[in-house]
Structure 1
Amino acid sequence: MSGEPLSIAVTGAGGRMGREVISAAADRERVAVAVAVNRTPTDPVAGVAVEDANRLDELLAAAEPDALVDFTGPDSAVTYAETCADAGVPVVTGTTGFADAQLGDLRAASESIPVLKASNFARGVAALRRAVREAAAALPGYDVELTETHHNAKRDAPSGTAKSILDDVESVRDDLDRRVHGREGDAPREETEIGVHARRAGDVTGEHEVLFAGNRESIELTHRAGDRGVFAEGALDAADWLADREPGWYGFGDVLDAGDAPE
């Protein structure tokens, strides 16, 4: 929305990421939270009143925000996207753990409105994924292992970001088509496998490490997020970019390719 103030709606406003998004918006002069909703009663966040999520349709109709930012759960995210489709409000979602049918519902919403779905809104993760694709293509035959670490309350494992990275590897390595989640007992490595390891501990925001090993050498590509604010900032960048788009299905890479920088 180049140069114009951005008005957003935020779902899951009482959750970790919802609060981060509202706080990040408060730090930007040209971003205002017009609607904030949560499924359970929640105190105001950064001075923004949080309304009942069941009223989202009427709140969107009254406020007419430029985009909605969602970090909730798969069922909720689909419901919110369908509500936004009816209201003509673009959707940015960082929710992960969707089943195939739920992804189909999101894509159906994108026929009416622009929908941007990303497993991770850190610009560094986008750079990591591009580096992983390049390394995987340049290192045929090398073993690949992926390890991800998150806080002890994260529900889905492996993380959505990890799954995206695995997709990246497999897109350029036809010989790797089997994901092995952890190992136990007599478990020799097979040539077609990618090792996947999910760790949950403490309050770790998010770490992803990809190991390539072969030919008497190894390469490790790693991203670590210092706090959740980096994801909130990226989601706001995505919302700003998405607000003027045509209906369709978008990813965070589209925002980066456009060269839009945070303000």
Structure 2
Amino acid sequence: MAVEIAVTGANGRMGREVLGIAVDRQAVEVAFAVNRSPVDEPIAGVEIESADRFEDLLAARSPDAVVDFTGPASSTAYAAHCADHSVAFVTGTTGFDEADQTALADASEQTALLHATNFSRGIAALRRAVTQAVEALPGYDIEVTETHHNGKRDAPSGTANTLIDDIEGVRTDIDDRVHGRVGEAPRSSGEIGVHARRAGDIAGEHEVLLAGNNETVSLCHRAGDRSIFAIGAIDAAEWLAEQPPGRYDFFDVIDDT
């Protein structure tokens, strides 16, 4: 049986990618797709509905999972509707604040919910490698640099913030995120440098630099195309559709498939 998915933000960069991958995957069918602003032409052969109809479409077409790449306000609203209808919810939306995270946690009590700031398997491997490197190199200076296309809204990216969270989980002496430098700015203890660059149509680049003891270690990931994120999100939707209510992350998918 094919897994039926619904797609939000269908006319966005990631929405279009998700639809393109989904229609080509034999094990997946698109139940419906929605977008907040009108879309006159089908995307990947799928007619795009108004986001105002999202809850009605959930009830009428009963997808197994929803894949969401929108914004914090719309994403939390979609998650609440999915919880009410027991539909699994996968979101790659970033920029959630504390209240948004609480809303996602509440939704996960009623349905399976997976949030990831990045659905690349390479980024998952990078996160694990960074954690190991930070553990092995105590006291080294650390800088995180990320680069994205010129339309990227949040800075630093959600992936960069996740990498920093991972680093701070190991290095309890780091308690100051310094975003860029200007003027006289010698490095202080407890600091992690964070740099966000925006240019062209770059899909995503992330580098973690560790320096100390007369040596440097650089761990990086470059996405050649954003389709890798769509592939991972659909992998997550297929997996999540079979899970009980709860909060999941992309490592759960990778470690079980």
2:250 is aligned to: 252
Unaligned runs of 5+ in 1: none
SS at match of 2:206: strand
1:104 is aligned to: 102
Distance 1:201 1:107 in 2: 34
SS at match of 1:54: helix
For residue 244 of structure 1, report the CA deviation from its aligned partner: 1.1
For residue 54 of structure 1, report the CA deviation from its aligned partner: 0.7
1:193 is aligned to: 191
The yes-or-no answer on 1:212 pairing with 2:205 is: no
For residue 5 of structure 1, report the CA deviation from its aligned partner: 1.1
Distance 1:140 1:39 in 2: 47
Distance 1:87 1:45 in 2: 26
Distance 2:37 2:139 in 1: 51
For residue 62 of structure 1, report the CA deviation from its aligned partner: 1.2
What CA RMSD, in Å, does the superposition of the two structures yield over aligned residues? Answer: 0.6
Instruction: Output the TM-score relative to the length of structure 1.
Output: 0.96
1:24 is aligned to: 21
SS at match of 2:217: strand
SS at match of 1:102: helix
Q: Identity over the aligned pairs, expressed in percent?
A: 62
Distance 2:29 2:48 in 1: 14
The yes-or-no answer on 1:182 pairing with 2:210 is: no
2:12 is aligned to: 15
Distance 1:29 1:249 in 2: 27
2:235 is aligned to: 237
SS at match of 1:202: coil
Aligned residue-pair number: 256
Instruction: Output the TM-score relative to the length of structure 2.
Output: 0.98
Q: State the 4+ residue runs in structure 1 displaced beyond 2 angstroms.
A: none
1:82 is aligned to: 80
1:140-167 Cα shifts (integer Å, max 9, x gaps)? 0100000000001101000000000001
For residue 239 of structure 1, report the CA deviation from its aligned partner: 0.3
For residue 191 of structure 1, report the CA deviation from its aligned partner: 1.5
Unaligned runs of 5+ in 2: none
For residue 13 of structure 1, report the CA deviation from its aligned partner: 0.5
